[in-house]
Amino acid sequence: MDKKVAKLLNEQINKEMYSSYLYFQFANYYHEEGLDGFYNWYYVQAQEEMDHALLMVKYLQNNDEKVVFEAVAKPEADLKDRMDPLKAGLAHEKYITGEINAVYAAAYEAKDFRTMQFLDWFVKEQGEEEKNSSDLIKKMELFGGEAKSLYMLDSELKARVYAAPSLVL
């Protein structure tokens, strides 16, 4: 494996762990607001992000590359109202998409086709992550202002369940 690509994957592991930590912060915010569905949605999201990191760990291990764990930064999202986590989540997903694309570009440049194939799943996943975040913002804008509608939206989000990725390494 190209050393630059391995280094970028190690850095991405940390970014995925940060994403998980950030989404746990969002989940906690909604727990404190009494919105159990929103809490659940971000709790599941945090689990997914941790699994993304673990998939990258396993990929590096399977390719005899050293895995380097760095400190995970404290999330610094300023959460003042119910829209703040949603907007910060979308912005963060766009950032992560750019980071995944940068790793993919480095793998492409190195002609590391195996890593490109591995990253294909993450590229697709990021498209889904951005759409889910954007859709949640739209729903909150439509329904979040009225108590009954917010209750129904919160109930919808409570039904989300965690499904571990089935990516085979």
- The helix/strand/coil state of 143 is helix
Give CA–CA dist 41/70, Å, rounded. 27
Binding positions for Fe cation: 16, 49, 52, 93, 126
- The helix/strand/coil state of 62 is helix
Binding positions: 16, 49, 52, 93, 126
Give CA–CA dist 98/77, Å, rounded. 19
From residue 158, give the alpha-carbon distance in Å to each of 23, 153, 161.
16, 9, 8
